[in-house]
Amino acid sequence: MTHDAAVLTGPGTFAFTQRALTPPAPGEVTVRVRAVGICGSDIHMYTDGRIGTSEILSPLVLGHEFMGEITRAAPGTVDGTGQPLQVGARVAVEPHVACGHCRACREGHPNLCPDHTFMGVFPRDGALQTHLNVPAHNTFVLPDSVTDLGGAMLEPLGVALHALRLGHVRVGDRAAVVGAGPIGLLLTQLLHLNGVTALHVTEPLPWRRALAAELGATSTDPTFTEEHDSRYDVVFEAAWADGSVQDAARLARPGARVVLVGIPGNDELRVQHSLARRKGLSLILARRMAHTYPEATALVAAGQLDVDRLVSATYPLSQVQRAFEDHAAYRPGVIKLMVTFPHGPA
């Protein structure tokens, strides 16, 4: 049996291939993919062939924000929370595969494991293909109240939730978010839920600013303005743009916590040292996420967050090139783009 895969063969170019469907290795299950979100990090790899120091050295299948349904699982297999996995179960998949026995893993920080692989980052293929095998403990069974699109949103929601935890947000805090892409908009919703008394969002794209306001921002600006200088107890940088860390430092009050979630294209963190030092800022760098899927799933299932709202368009796999082009160009209305798969026979 074969399946279709969209393979990134070089910067800006996808090719479609038919691949043999290999049986799952011990501890793995086969997932038939149903929805895959396109991430800013995918766009870096699509346009530049790299992210940070991770370079794509041979054709790669991108896609790390995804869900699907189990088509093959050995009897007795369980998901990441110990729930039995049956054929037909809808699951979200955590893309980060940690080694499980290094010091970081043993101390409860699998996201910091130096000996990991990540689905959709070279050399491990991701989910822009009809089927893939994944470790069973990376899957999380989805309740019916979480849609397919919502299931694929649990990965970026986990990133936002992890950043929120690193920020130690308290009820009554004044918070700011730099950048209202999907992560910034998820942080906006999470901060709103956490009872912050002011929630300021800076974002250059007007449709994203408008959505931030709908989702709980109490003020928005296209860029940093003096009016918001030094006002916030906790600031989240989720912009991936030049100058965004500096803007976050300017928004922060003395003694504030500044959580950096964005990944700069040029692999450099730039902030005016005297500004950060005189304010005594805590700069906290977020690395992916850890232990977030159960809570992220519960938040969405309970209707406390509207993650489907962020999905601005869906594309079939055959249109993946167009989806990436639309995202890379930030066409008006683009927030989270997803590739979805028709429900054919398994």
CA distance 315 to 46: 17
CA distance 253 to 235: 9
Which two three-digit tokens encode residue 70?
């189990």
The residue (of 155 and 233) whose beta carbon lies closer to Zn ion is 155
Task: Give the shortest CB-92-to-Zn ion separation in angstroms.
Answer: 13
Which two three-digit tokens encode residue 188?
């906006």
Q: Is 135 helix (H, G, I), strand (E, B) or coil?
A: strand
Which two three-digit tokens encode residue 108?
């409860």
Cα dihedral 178, 181, 186, 189, rounded to 10, equals 60
Exposure on the CB side of residue 269, measured as CA atoms within 13 A: 16
The residue (of 210 and 241) whose beta carbon lies closer to Zn ion is 241
The residue (of 109 and 253) whose beta carbon lies closer to Zn ion is 109
Q: What are phi and psi for residue 55, nearest 5 degrees?
A: -105, 150
Task: Give the shortest CB-109-to-Zn ion separation in angstroms.
Answer: 9
CA distance 138 to 136: 5
The residue (of 21 and 37) whose beta carbon lies closer to Zn ion is 37
Task: Give the shortest CB-41-to-Zn ion separation in angstroms.
Answer: 5
Task: Give the shortest CB-50-to-Zn ion separation in angstroms.
Answer: 16
The residue (of 99 and 275) whose beta carbon lies closer to Zn ion is 99
188 Cβ contact partners less than 8 Å away, ≥ 6 residues apart: 177, 180, 199, 201, 212, 215, 216, 217
Q: Alpha-carbon Rg of the chain, whole angstroms?
A: 20
The residue (of 39 and 335) whose beta carbon lies closer to Zn ion is 39
Q: What are phi and psi for residue 96, nearest 5 degrees?
A: -85, 120
The residue (of 100 and 333) whose beta carbon lies closer to Zn ion is 100
Task: Give the shortest CB-95-to-Zn ion separation in angstroms.
Answer: 8
Q: Is 27 helix (H, G, I), strand (E, B) or coil?
A: coil
Task: Give the shortest CB-118-to-Zn ion separation in angstroms.
Answer: 10
Task: Give the shortest CB-128-to-Zn ion separation in angstroms.
Answer: 13
Residues that bind Zn ion (CB under 5 A): 39, 98-99, 102, 105, 113
- As a three-state string, the secondary structure of 53-119 is CEECCCCECCCCEEEEEEEECCCCCECCCCCECCCCCEEEECCEECCCCCHHHHCCCHHHCCCCEEC
The residue (of 126 and 167) whose beta carbon lies closer to Zn ion is 126
> How many residues can be counted in the chain?
346
Task: Give the shortest CB-151-to-Zn ion separation in angstroms.
Answer: 14
Task: Give the shortest CB-119-to-Zn ion separation in angstroms.
Answer: 11
For residues 45 and 60, the answer to whether their CB atoms sit within 8 Å is: yes
The residue (of 91 and 105) whose beta carbon lies closer to Zn ion is 105
Cα dihedral 322, 1, 69, 163, rounded to 10, equals -50
